Structure 1
Amino acid sequence: MTRVSGRIVTPDAVVTGHLDLDGDLIAAIVPDDTAGDDVIVPGFVDLHCHGGGGHTFTTGSAPAARAAAAFHRRHGTTTILASLVSSPFALMRSAVDAYRPLVEDGTLGGIHFEGPYLSAVRCGAQNPSFLRDPSMDEITELVTAGAGVVRMMTVAPELPGALDAIGRLRDHGVLAAIGHTDATYDQTHAGVAAGATVATHLFNGMRPTHHREPGPVVGLLSSTATVELIADNVHLHPGMVKFVVADVGPDRAVLVTDAMDATGMPDGRYELGGQEVVVADRVARLAVNGSIAGSTLTMDGALRNAVAAGVPLTAAARMASTTPARLLGLDKTLGALAPGLRADVVVLSADLTPRSVLRAGIPVEAS
Structure 2
Amino acid sequence: MSPTPLTLTDTRTVTPEGVHEGWVHLENGRVAELGTGEPPRGAVHDAGGRWVAPGLVDTHVHGGAGHGFPDADPEGARAVTAFNRSQGVTSMVGGLVAASPEDTLHQVSVLADLCDEGELAGIYLEGPFIARQRCGAHDPELLRDPDTAEFDRWLEAGRGHVRMITVAPELPGALELIRAAASSGVVPAVGHTEATYEETVAAFDAGATVATHLYNAMRPLGHRDPGPIAAALGDGRVSVELILDLVHVHPGAAQVVLDAVGPGRLSLVTDAMNATGLGDGEYTLGGLRVRVSGGEARVVETGSIASSTIVLPQAVRNAVDHLGMTVPDAVRSASSVPAAAVGLPGVGRVEPGAPADLVVLDEGLAVAEVVHRGAFVG
What is the TM-score when the length of structure 1 is the normalising length? Answer: 0.95
Return 5+ residue gaps in structure 1 as ranges.
none
Are the counterparts in 1 of residues 47 and 360 from structure 2 also a CA contact under 8 Å? no
Trace 1:1-367 onto structure 2 (pairs within 5 A): 1-5=5-9, 6-31=11-36, 36-223=48-235, 224-309=237-322, 310-331=324-345, 333-365=346-378
Superposition deviation, residue 321 in structure 1: 0.7
1:334: how far off? 2.3
Describe the SS at the equivalent of 1:305.
helix
CA distance in structure 2 between the aligned counterparts of 1:184 and 1:135, rounded to whole angstroms: 21
Matched positions, count: 363
Q: Deviations over 1:201-229 (max 9, x none)?
A: 01100111111110010011112211101
CA displacement, residues 305-334 of structure 1 (integer Å, 9 cap, x when unaligned): 111121111111111111122223323x32
Following the alignment from structure 1 to structure 2, what is the Cα–Cα distance between the partners of residues 273 and 44? 26
Is the Cα–Cα contact under 8 Å of residues 153 and 176 in structure 1 kept in the other structure?
A: yes
Once the two structures are TM-superposed, the CA of residue 16 in structure 1 deviates from its matched residue by 2.7
SS of the residue corresponding to residue 133 of structure 2 reads coil
Answer yes or no: is the 8 Å Cα contact 1:254–1:323 preserved in 2: yes
Aligned to 2:43: none
CA positional deviation for 1:30: 2.6
Partner SS, residue 70 of structure 2: coil
CA contact (8 A) 1:59 1:91 kept: no
Q: Is the 8 A contact 1:7 1:36 kept in 2?
A: no
State the SS of the aligned residue for 1:153: strand
The percentage of aligned residue pairs carrying the same residue is 45
Instruction: State how far apart, in whole Å, the 2-side matches of 1:363 and 1:164 are.
Output: 45
The answer (yes or no) to whether the contact 2:112–2:159 under 8 Å persists in 1 is no
The offset of 1:35, in angstroms, is 6.4
Question: 2:306 aligns to what SS in structure 1?
Answer: coil
2:234/2:260 contact within 8 Å kept: no
3-state SS, counterpart of residue 296 of structure 1:
coil
SS at structure 1 position matched to 2:79:
helix
The gaps in structure 2 that reach 5 residues or longer are 38-45
- 1:76-134 residue CA offsets vs partner (Å, 9 max, x unmatched): 11110110111111111011221222101110111101011111111111111111111
Q: Equivalents in 2 of 1:4, 1:240: separation in Å?
A: 38
TM-score by length of 2: 0.93
- Deviation at 1:64? 1.3
Q: Does the 8 Å contact 2:112/2:157 carry over to 1?
A: no
The structural deviation recorded for 1:246 is 2.4
RMSD: 1.5
